[in-house]
Chain A
Amino acid sequence: MAKLTVETIDQVLDVLVAQKANELDLRHITFIDPYALLLLALGMRHRLEVGPHLVIQWPESPSVHRWMEAMGFFAEVDEFVPTSRIAPVRVTNALAPITSIAKEQEVSRLVEAFDRRLAERYPLTGTSRNALIRIMIELFQNIPQHSNATGAVSDPHGLAAIQDYTDSIFLAVADKGVGLHGSLALRPEFASLSDRSALDAIVFEGMSRFTDPGRGGELRRIARLVRNWDGMLTIRSGEALLIMDAEHGDIYDAPVFPGVQIAICLPRRVFGIEAPPIDNE
């Protein structure tokens, strides 16, 4: 495993969650996508909470290390990282670094900040830019609205990050809250659903923990939009993992992990961006 991505991060999560292993070796990692980066941060935080102590060997690749720094990863996981590791950021190819999402009052400001970073780098076309803003509003807002729906989670720890690549824009939003099943189970008729069934009910049927018909349906609309844009959507919750592209959408088994983690990868051409302005590995 040389790359930490949507496809491979669950192997790392397995180590972080399984309390048997006491070392995580990331030395040979040559690439990390934003979704994997957020899951790595949340997985480490989870491990810190439940123990036992874990020794982490950090990536040796300078470019990966610089990107992790620029994305604010080491600041986010500072409980695990020796102070000497937290160096000033020299390379700023990070589009929008890891950002904490806690209160609904902050959501619009955070979305504006993400949009501004994207607009500073690219001359975006209006329709798709506005659609991406709508997506970010709904996904960011879901964290304060739903991640602690039961009131039983001390820190759902919502995070978001965005990065551009030569062919795509990659948005990741993640928390370690109650998850889709935990939220939906607040309705008695959904209490016995599995993670897989809850994911299916919310993403494909537009269900919500609220009986109000105006609530819910947002993830379904986002999934349709991403599919129409020929993008890729990943939603992970509990032990269920949905990976959806323009043609397929399948739910897989995954190592159990709290909360909801979402990745949206959109072709740059959707935003009217053609030539890559930077090479960010």
Chain B
Amino acid sequence: MNSMHERMFPIAPFGVRLGTRLEGKAAREQLLGLLDELPQPGRVVVSLEGVEVLSGSFADEAIAIPYSRLASGEYGDRYLVLRAPSLEITDDLAHKLERRRLAMICLTDDGWEVVGFLAPAMREALALVVKRGETTPKELAEALNIRHNACLHRVGRLAELRLIRREEVGLAGPHPSYRLFSILSP
């Protein structure tokens, strides 16, 4: 796997207490510009360091809408990750992501958490991919003690949500075979 390119996108320059949809739109334009320029594969870390208030409106415009476009495949092999001093600041963003049936990985001082909507079984699979850094659906199915098809479904959905990176490496019979990568890996 090629190593991930990374860019930081600090939210604090837009304000400490944010904000309206109008302000969120301005931040969104800059974030999408950064995503466009980012070499693939790559991730943008959206940092909430220094932000005291993140309203649902700002969070939706600046982060959730770009993330929904990312999840639709519009930005190719690129990913968005949050960084926050605590999960409390992501509360309203989580609500917006849940309404959009999306979830993001949030890096905290204690590790990482999922912000938004993700079923427990999907969280379990995601945690294993992050822990291993790199794996295959077969290895994952064995570790989770689930059927291979069920595992393919889970990792397919995680890849759609841009929570893991899935790379096609050949064919296994009539179906493509994949390697799975954590989007937090270097």
Question: In the complex, which residues of chain A have a beta carbon less than 8 angstroms from the beta carbon of B21?
Answer: 104, 141, 145
B57 touches A218 (CB 8 A): yes
A104 touches B17 (CB 8 A): no
Question: In the complex, which residues of chain A have a beta carbon less than 8 angstroms from the beta carbon of B23?
Answer: 108
- Which range contains the number of B residues in contact with the other chain? 20 to 34
**Shortest beta-carbon distance, A148 to chain B, in Å?**
16
Secondary structure call for the B interface: helix
Question: In the complex, which residues of chain B have a beta carbon less than 8 angstroms from the beta carbon of A221?
Answer: 56, 92, 95
Docked Cα-Cα span, A145 to B23, in Å, equals 13
Interface string of A131-143 (1 = CB under 8 A from B): 0011001100100
Question: In the complex, which residues of chain B have a beta carbon less than 8 angstroms from the beta carbon of A92?
Answer: none
Given A133-B53, A138-B55, A213-B100, CB of A105 within 8 Å of CB of B22 = yes
B56 touches A111 (CB 8 A): no
Q: Is A214 an interface residue (CB 8 A)?
A: yes
- State which residues 202-225 of A face B: CB under 8 Å: 206, 213-218, 221
Given A108-B17, A112-B17, A127-B88, CB of A218 within 8 Å of CB of B22 = no
Q: Is A180 an interface residue (CB 8 A)?
A: no
Of B17, B18, B60, the contact of A214 (CB 8 Å cutoff):
B60
- State which residues 48-66 of B face A: CB under 8 Å: 52-53, 55-58, 60, 64-65
Q: Is B157 an interface residue (CB 8 A)?
A: no
Question: In the complex, which residues of chain B have a beta carbon less than 8 angstroms from the beta carbon of A127?
Answer: 88
Nearest B residue to A142, CB-CB: B57
A104 touches B22 (CB 8 A): yes
Secondary structure call for the A interface: helix
Q: Is B96 an interface residue (CB 8 A)?
A: yes
Q: Is A130 an interface residue (CB 8 A)?
A: yes
B19 touches A134 (CB 8 A): no
Q: Is B135 an interface residue (CB 8 A)?
A: no
B17 touches A133 (CB 8 A): yes
Q: Is A107 an interface residue (CB 8 A)?
A: yes
B20 touches A104 (CB 8 A): yes
Told that A108-B23, A134-B92, A214-B96 touch, could you supply 16 new A-B pairs with CB distance under 8 A?
A111-B17, A134-B53, A137-B58, A138-B56, A141-B21, A141-B57, A145-B21, A206-B99, A214-B60, A214-B65, A214-B68, A214-B99, A217-B95, A218-B56, A218-B57, A221-B56
5 residue pairs from A and B, CB less than 8 Å apart: A133-B53, A138-B55, A141-B20, A214-B65, A217-B95
